[in-house]
Amino acid sequence: MRYVDLDPNTDLAETSAHDAADDPQHGSAVNGAPAVFADNPTARELAIWLQAFQSFFNVAHQPLAEDERAEVLTRNWNKETSVARCALLRSSHLTFLLVQELDNTYHGAVDPNAVDRAIDFSAANSTQVLGAVSSVDRNKQSTKAANTAFVELMEILSDVRSICDAMLESRAVSFSAWASIGKVLARELKRSSAACRLARVMDVTNIHPSLLALTANLTPDPLGANVRQVFSGLASSLEMLSFIERDLRQDYPLKPALPLFTLINQETRGLLELLQTRVMRAERLTEEVFEALDSTSYAIRMELRKVFEHELAGLSQQRDAPVIRARVENAHGLLRDSFQQSTVVLAQVFDPTLDGPKLFSAFRTKVEQSLALRRDLWTVLQFVRHAEKESSERPVLDALLEPLAGFRDGSMHYLMYKDWETYERFVEDVASTRGAVELKPVLHRFATYLETLFSQISMRAVFTDHPFEPPKAES
């Protein structure tokens, strides 16, 4: 992805016209379409989805478990094909909305909310989406040439979706068949004038004005440009996460968000490579800046491992809706917090006055995360200790499982990745025991582990000004 920084007062029309001048093949617009899409939310989202497909069909970016990755050539890809179909349906809906917006440009504006609410683009209501798309196609001759380009894009998406449907008629989809869908889609999108125009939307990343001002004042100039690219990459990934957050909030099907996650994986790994191979090797880099970049790179890399080797691994095969939601929520939260924290940490190296709440409306600092982890870990420890004393009573064990699951789905994600598996294994051991004789030693080992972990957590430097005060027991 090429990131272009814009001054908040820059005329986007001028920028688009400049880009078009460099591209005589597509001109200043797609067959007469307005040249400005950078500030159009529908166009931006559609551009991201089209790019996400290409990363989704690349196995390197898939969140596969180790056993799945070892069997890439022999495993069944029908679940991923189903996810691709749902995501194609959503993209068709977005293209339909964009056609409506372009048509309104020529024939008078209408209430955009009325258009947006006209279709439920969840996979469960595909008939409504397809019906709307067909109605646009029937009126193709009456639309402007601009609309025609995007109607043709809808046809491409529909054709590839039909391929997915044909594949799904059989129970098994081979790797070669799966890969062929991706190749067909990539080829057709490359030929599409509308898709090419939308690709230019991704050249403009919405960086916070404060960060733009910061990088503009950095010296030497290459340092400012490099840091601006880092901020651009983080902002782009946060924008993708905002679409997933909306799906979570509106209770939409969540598996179709997997292509967005794979794109985030691809883009973030590209950003890490940029950090390692160029930014951190820049001349006249101070030790403070180098250490900030190095710690940022390490932190992001660890969060990627948590998300793509744990939370999302095997998600396409999962059928339990609450489990899917919990894992997507956790993955979204881990990545959002990581990208926001990385942005703030790097910004404060150059301007200590730039704090998290100024840059992000929903920002939780590392101190806040650590305080929550320490508090919740202590609470879980008390539950385990109590259950160990009363392990002969089944109701006590039943009451223990709920807080253990609550910690696993919440503050456990602030632990080091290596501690996740140990905690989850203990929870599984507790849940699978059948009697007091078997349970008591398990709880004793679990309590000992939690005590050691709590002691290690309490040694973190962030707690220097935050002595621990155990919550008062309820009377």
> Rounded to 5 degrees, what are φ and ψ at 334?
-60, -45
Whole-number pLDDT of residue 163: 96
**Torsion over CA: 282, 286, 287, 291 (sign):** negative
| Contact assessment for residue 311 and residue 327, using Cβ atoms and an 8 Å cutoff | yes
Token duo for residue 228: 């601006």
> How far apart, in Å, are the Cα atoms of 214 and each of 15, 209, 238?
22, 9, 19
Whole-number pLDDT of residue 16: 35
276 half-sphere exposure, CB direction, 13 A CA radius: 10
| Contact assessment for residue 94 and residue 42, using Cβ atoms and an 8 Å cutoff | yes
Note down pLDDT in tens along the chain; length 475 residues. Answer: 443 333 333 332 333 333 333 343 333 344 333 444 657 889 999 999 999 999 999 999 999 878 888 899 999 999 999 999 999 999 999 999 988 887 775 554 444 443 343 344 444 444 555 555 555 444 444 445 557 888 999 999 999 999 999 999 988 999 999 999 999 999 999 999 999 989 887 777 778 889 999 989 888 788 888 889 999 999 999 999 999 999 998 889 999 999 999 999 999 999 999 998 888 888 778 888 888 889 899 999 999 998 999 899 989 999 999 889 989 988 998 999 899 989 998 998 888 888 777 888 777 777 888 899 999 999 999 999 988 887 666 666 778 889 999 998 888 888 877 788 899 999 999 888 877 778 889 999 999 999 999 998 888 777 877 888 887 655 4
Whole-number pLDDT of residue 37: 64
> Which DSSP symbol is given to 351?
-
CA distance 231 to 208: 9
> How far apart, in Å, are the Cα atoms of 149 and each of 41, 54, 155, 194, 195?
19, 21, 10, 5, 9
Question: How many residues belong to the chain?
Answer: 475
Whole-number pLDDT of residue 11: 31
Whole-number pLDDT of residue 51: 95
Whole-number pLDDT of residue 26: 39
CA distance 337 to 64: 23
Q: Which of 300, 268, 267 is nearest to 417 (CA)?
A: 300
CA distance 45 to 451: 47
> Hey, where are the domains in the chain?
12-203, 209-358, 366-463
> Rounded to 5 degrees, what are φ and ψ at 470?
-55, 135
Whole-number pLDDT of residue 361: 76
> How far apart, in Å, are the Cα atoms of 202 and each of 4, 205, 347?
9, 7, 23
